[in-house]
Structure 1
């Protein structure tokens, strides 16, 4: 035990999107006296509250609100972190959603670009910047947040589905590429997790989980370097079938399950 502690006195865990429901729950799950948490979030008050809660649990905490979609700012931030201590675990959790505002109407282009920037381009950019340092050290863990919507695109959230399918494929490819260098890669595919973003999504939300339950399952999977963490089982099993069945059959199921329209409450 002492040898392990001497080899790695403090595990450094970086979590982006920490002011979101899953990110915040993950930060609290990792917070202990042997962990240096680097938590990133755009909501300053929520970030400060989270940092204090994690410090009370014993963690050393550093906060940041850098603009993740600004390539220069992102690069400078990660280079500074790696100069001090390359993170041992990086959970690229920051993300957003958008959806059509009316049946048959495409999502606004500005919203599409912003979503692709944060959901897909940012985690790939983070990998580009962090992998060289992790390779030089000989170990590390990259965690990408996909979604069960990555199995098959949903008419209620087509761009979100595309971004999550993209990061799923990227993480799967990267795992095989980096395994020989001691770097693990895990893709997380959550179902519906209670949060403001989840509440704003149109369509039914079967088998919704609280964020604390999701964080516990995600942390367990990361700790064992699982290739994929997907939950809950019934929804994962059903959406997986959407990916393997003939497209016409999958589209029929999607319609029957109520995911073929964009009816939602104003202000959701």
Structure 2
């Protein structure tokens, strides 16, 4: 595999960390964004030990100006071949709760949706000018159908799916490649916080291997695990209220995020 210049957000843990290590090799250039300085530096050191040249950015993806500055500087230094918009948080409902905290909802949308925009937008102009580059968006099977225990999370991932699909149709004729990752349950700190059945859960390293293989092949959609993806797609053609009843019987305890909207976020 040819060495690449890769940007990854949410690189301090979970899928982002696993992807950083998957791409770390002699001659590779990695730009890693995260918010936890200690964990981010630990990932960077491990990637450097594998031969990669690494720069880190302690940047909040909600901060549009800071993201544009870091990404722009990195792209001028070593034009990005691949950008992976991975950073995200989760929030949800516990049994007995009927609706989500509006502040938690806005915090989640700021990170999961506006954070994706803040990651991709600084590279659209440069990549189009080069007529080269790949944008990858980490979505979720939860973005295929609203789940009664995580309305905002599902909405954010559905929006990311639609954004990726729209960009793909528009930008691929310009020479860019746009890939959407539709992931099932991956064992990460984020998913570990959810108390529920997690069918076909895989490790973050296994997920990173699947994602990288799909990105190397420039696949439009990288969905896994296939049985869960097929089941979610099949659920789209069943009567909606029947699916609602089935999903409502599943007991899930999804924690409320402690993140809150700030002056960095869109209103």
Give your verdict on TM over 0.5. yes
1:264/1:190 Cα in 2 relative to 1: closer, same or farther (>3 Å)? closer
Is 1:179 the equivalent of 2:172?
Answer: yes
Confirm or deny that 1:147 pairs with 2:147: no
- 1:42 correspondence with 2:41: no
Higher relative contact order (CA 8 A, sep 6+): 2
Question: Deviations along 1:213-266, whole A, 9 cap, x unmatched?
Answer: 10000001111111111111121111111223221222133234x1xx444699
Alpha-carbon distance in 2 for matches of 1:263, 1:84? 45
Matching residue within 45, 56, 65 for 2:49: 56
Q: Bigger CA drift: 118-127 or 170-179?
A: 118-127
How far did 1:93 drift? 0.4
1:205, distance to aligned residue in structure 2 (A)? 0.9
Count of equivalent residues: 257
**Structure 2 unaligned spans of 5+:** 257-267
Higher mean alpha-carbon deviation, 99-108 vs 54-63, is at 99-108
- What is the aligned partner in structure 1 of residue 197 from structure 2? 204
For residue 202 of structure 2, give the secondary structure of its aligned residue in structure 1: coil
| TM norm structure 2 | 0.91
1:193 lines up with 2:186 in the alignment: yes
Inter-partner Cα distance in structure 2 for 1:265 and 1:180: 42
Q: Which residue of 2 aligns with 1:165?
A: 158
* Secondary structure in structure 2 of the residue aligned to 1:180: helix
Contact 1:194 1:211 in 2 (8 A): yes
CA distance in 2, matches of 1:43, 1:191: 25
The answer (yes or no) to whether the contact 2:105–2:152 under 8 Å persists in 1 is yes
